[in-house]
Amino acid sequence: MSTEGTSVDVTPDPTAAVADDEVIVETDERLVPTVLEWMADATSVVHTIEEYRVVPWGPNADEMWELGKLTSERLGTLLKVHRVGRRYGLVLEDAGSRPERHFLLDGLTAKSWHDVIVFEAVVGPFFRLFLESFFRSSVADLDGLTRDLWTESQRFIRFGQARTARALAGGDRVELQSALERWLPAVVRALGEVPADLDETWRLAGLRTRTSDQVRQDYLDEIATYLQGNDLEIPAAVADAVCEVEVKWLGEEVAGGGRRDRPLKAATFAFTDRLREGDGRGVPASAPDRPGADASGSA
């Protein structure tokens, strides 16, 4: 940054306090592969749930096409992780088939269209937040990769949430709730998968900027709001974790008061009429005329 011609002094003040996210650390690059392995596991979720198998079961050809594109994009994100992995000597090509990988989501697979759209709508935000936790990583490769994957993950979530909204409007609440009952407990368990010591190591190395606890809280807040906003019930199995957001219906207070329980009357020029006729309260000379019948008005 150039500050020439200004009074700004960019010389760092060694005594100045710095915010947590401005701490400059010496990153041990040997730790980068540990992050990439977890990222590969996160992006392998397309295999975990076998999302591509559901493509032929979209409600119509348009939705099959959209899901097919999404699935291939998800498979494409894996290639991006693998590519960065190779720079660090990692072979991640088999990540999607390793049985001991993370984020296995209790071994659940997508069995229906509703399963897929609820997965994208509800589980998708967890993976987006997981990626976000590596934003501003001290390693440029990681920062760049996570931003790239994050951007794609937004599309996946939008796909799921838009379809879920449409399905709700179409009366598929039972099917959606049923899918939610499958996925949400699994993703809540996944929130605790990163071991605490690894989480701390990543944080100290500047690789991760949000801890697992923060990711967990971000997710629970976000998903509770989403579910509440769509009148979906929080599954009993995770009721302790996903606290319902307290929403108080303010009704008339929000609407600015007034009475809504009486029949409405036609609005009139009764005020002007009253002034013309004189109602004993004193008629000012400047009282407005009632508009004339013709467009230009009458004198």
For other proteins, the binding residues (CB under 8 A) are 47, 50, 52-53, 55-56, 60-62, 64-65, 68-69, 71-72, 75-76, 78-79, 82, 93, 96
Of 33, 110, 34, 124, the C-alpha closest to 74 is: 124
The span from the CA of 81 to the CA of 146, in Å, is 9
Nearer to other proteins (CB atom), residue 33 or residue 68:
68
The Cα–Cα gap between 217 and 242 comes to: 9
Q: Measured from the CB of residue 189, what is the shortest distance to other proteins in angstroms?
A: 23
Residue number with CB closer to other proteins (63 or 199): 63
Judged by CB, which is closer to other proteins: 95, or 157? 95
Rounded-to-integer distance, Cα 115 and Cα 113, Å: 5
CB of 187 to other proteins, least distance (A): 21
Q: CB of residue 60 vs other proteins: minimum separation in angstroms? A: 7
Structure tokens at 190: 């996944």
Residue 78 or 123 having the CB closest to other proteins: 78
Taking the complex as a whole, the smallest distance from the CB of residue 23 to other proteins amounts, in Å, to 36
We find the least distance from the C-beta atom of residue 72 to other proteins, in angstroms, to be 4
- For other proteins, give the closer residue by CB, 52 or 226: 52
Least separation, in Å, of the C-beta of 39 and other proteins? 14
d(CA 130, CA 219) in angstroms, rounded, equals 9
- Residue nearer to other proteins on the CB measure, 40 or 242: 40
Shortest distance (Å) from residue 152 CB to other proteins: 13
Rounded Cα–Cα distance for residues 244 and 228 (Å): 7
**What's the Cα-to-Cα distance from 106 to each of 14, 38, 69, 183, 189, rounded to whole Å?**
49, 17, 26, 9, 9
- Alpha-helix residue ranges (DSSP H) falling in 170-282: 173-190, 196-204, 212-229, 252-255, 270-277
Query: Closer CB to other proteins, residue 15 or residue 60?
Result: 60
Distances (CA, A) of 147 to 19, 38, 53, 95, 126: 22, 16, 28, 21, 15
Quick one: CA dihedral 166, 170, 175, 181, positive or negative?
Answer: positive
Identify the sign of the CA torsion 121, 126, 127, 129: positive
Token duo for residue 85: 């992995």
